[in-house]
Structure 1
């Protein structure tokens, strides 16, 4: 389908100094954000972090306490919602039950007096591969099909910006994963600017060109999914986007290429380019899937960090991988994800093991140390009511 059929181009979105206060609390604090035109942008965070409030501010459903909202360079801060070139797809599909699928998609075009509303609606349904079901009523469709209709209805209006508010939350896991890929494909084809609000890290990583991780009304880190995952800046990001092992460490040496630190009596190296702090007490991290579980103490090798010995306290099978919890004296509980290449676990609870990882897989956070990895993971995942 020709990209120009639905939108000449998306528009960039700029939030400048946005602050939103409610009685008794501040939902969004001094938010500065730029979403380039034609990109798929994900705003990721736990319940209560302010992401849904941010989306409502962009849609015009809330007014900022201070700051400006620009769309395609035009200030829309004081523009009414229906006059903004913005459409929103919600988790609830909000389809008209008495109308056919085709009529649902054409509804907004008819109200605006757009020429050939049914023809444009059919083109939108072809885009989401539902043109064969155009004459059905919403009740005759599955949840995934209804979500596609809602998407077609939004896209057909040619918005400069499409907002997605947890749109896949009501779908089962298998269908949600399928829809993630389809949403990304549709965004690439129509060229609109998508801003997707979600608490689902996998959803954000799968679809977005850029991910912004939000916490307590602020953006903690922004970048490509790979960048934010592989090189988190804070403990919150490290544990909200996946899991991480975080160790308090004392810097002993800081060279041009690497920083050497003491972790529970072990010399651990991290590339200087991957360390946010290079002196004093710092937090070092490594992802669980980067670790190797060894049943014998390894011979020291350049470029390899070793921690241990430790004792396996728990083994959990999850299909693709097995999770091991290893208690290392002075370092706390370390999480290891091992791909299941053989039948059954490699080691059983109670076994003594060593852990190793390549120096280039480690990272150093901007945060000061704040307890164990498991505690920080818990803190990252605990949230209040959605705002």
Structure 2
């Protein structure tokens, strides 16, 4: 894509003490958030967590119960939607079927009596690489092309802030991944501030500079995608953003750098810098792809955590890796993702196995430790809810 004069400066967005109550429940609770100008920010969470309500508050489609919304330092809390420098791209493209693509993109400019609406519409279509279909009707375009037209129509008005409400949800997987890359490229080229609402963790991590994980109207954790994935702070984040193996343990000692914990007589160590809590009963975790599965006991090594023996209860070959489920005493079933670097699986159904991983890949969570059975049940419920929200 080439440089264009649509490039503009985005504005920062600040939410100060935002609360939104509906009869019978609170959708957003004391939300403080600042999104720097020109950034690609994602609000991620399951259905009902408050992310879409937050987006509607910013757009002016809902009024906050309390708090302020500032765009570019200006309080817009009391302004009507059309008075805010904001445009929204929805999952439904909402294109006018009787108009050409060019007319759809130029429509808002003409209503505002902007100078040279046709020239600006062509420029926006060139940005999304669709100027060659300017004279077609929406029905003659694919879903991905229609979504790009909707984006061109939003960008052509040069808003300071672009809101994306599950914009790729109606596309098939391959097209969705292609559009993720294109949206990110367009955002960098145009320089607008993007606020993207999604329940799709891969979409948020692929596109956003910063991700905020929402749960029950609050932000549980916010940061760069890799930071949230590698170092989740709560059980919810650890399980919503990818999968995690979690263990209920007791802190039994340690050094300046490392905590030592006990899992039914087995030592699991976690770096102090990677643990939210340092004493008592805590929950520690490790991502499935960080673990190694073997059919012999693991040699003692201060740099390794090792547990076992366990029993393989499921083996799933998925091409790049094989996924194992291992039953271990005193733990929820453990998931191990092993890259397929050799022909054939490492272990078969029913095999006795030992698991290990580097100490530096362990993390300790902030939540109060649940009893093992409750932890297993709670995680199962959350996993089901997360997969349902993701349409899996």
Q: What TM-score do you get using the length of structure 2 for normalisation?
A: 0.95
- The secondary structure found in structure 1 opposite 2:273 is helix
How do 1:218-229 residues align onto structure 2 when only pairs under 5 Å count?
218-229=218-229
CA contact (8 A) 2:277 2:365 kept: yes
Whether 1:376 and 2:379 are equivalent positions in the alignment is: yes
Residue in structure 1 matched with residue 268 of structure 2 by the alignment = 268
Residue in structure 2 matched with residue 111 of structure 1 by the alignment = 111
- The secondary structure found in structure 2 opposite 1:110 is helix
Residue in structure 2 matched with residue 350 of structure 1 by the alignment = 350
- Give deviations 1:173-220, integer Å, cap 9, x for gaps: 000000000000000000000000000000000000000000000000
- How far off its partner does 1:263 sit? 1.5
CA contact (8 A) 2:49 2:217 kept: yes
- How far off its partner does 1:7 sit? 4.4
Looking at structure 1, the residues matched to 380 and 52 of structure 2 have their Cα atoms a distance apart, in angstroms, of: 22
- How far off its partner does 1:261 sit? 0.4
- How far off its partner does 1:385 sit? 9.6
How do 1:1-387 residues align onto structure 2 when only pairs under 5 Å count?
5-370=5-370, 371-372=374-375, 375-379=378-382, 381-382=384-385
- How far off its partner does 1:379 sit? 1.6
- How far off its partner does 1:321 sit? 1.6
CA contact (8 A) 2:2 2:127 kept: no
CA contact (8 A) 1:254 1:279 kept: no
- How far off its partner does 1:376 sit? 1.3
CA contact (8 A) 1:3 1:191 kept: no
CA contact (8 A) 2:275 2:364 kept: yes
CA contact (8 A) 1:41 1:195 kept: yes
Q: What TM-score do you get using the length of structure 1 for normalisation?
A: 0.97
- The secondary structure found in structure 1 opposite 2:342 is coil
- The secondary structure found in structure 1 opposite 2:248 is strand
CA contact (8 A) 2:305 2:356 kept: yes
Looking at structure 1, the residues matched to 162 and 215 of structure 2 have their Cα atoms a distance apart, in angstroms, of: 23
- The secondary structure found in structure 2 opposite 1:332 is coil
- Give deviations 1:81-100, integer Å, cap 9, x for gaps: 00000000000000001111
CA contact (8 A) 2:212 2:222 kept: yes
CA contact (8 A) 2:4 2:127 kept: no
CA contact (8 A) 2:46 2:389 kept: no
- Give deviations 1:120-171, integer Å, cap 9, x for gaps: 1111111111111111100000000000000000011100000000000000
CA contact (8 A) 1:314 1:349 kept: yes
Structure 2, unaligned stretches of length 5 or more?
Answer: none
CA contact (8 A) 2:294 2:346 kept: no
- How far off its partner does 1:373 sit? 5.1
- The secondary structure found in structure 2 opposite 1:278 is coil
Looking at structure 2, the residues matched to 385 and 28 of structure 1 have their Cα atoms a distance apart, in angstroms, of: 19
Change (3 A) 1:294 1:374: farther
- How far off its partner does 1:369 sit? 2.1
- How far off its partner does 1:233 sit? 0.3
Structure 1, unaligned stretches of length 5 or more?
Answer: none
- The secondary structure found in structure 2 opposite 1:89 is strand
Looking at structure 2, the residues matched to 342 and 244 of structure 1 have their Cα atoms a distance apart, in angstroms, of: 25
Change (3 A) 1:4 1:144: closer
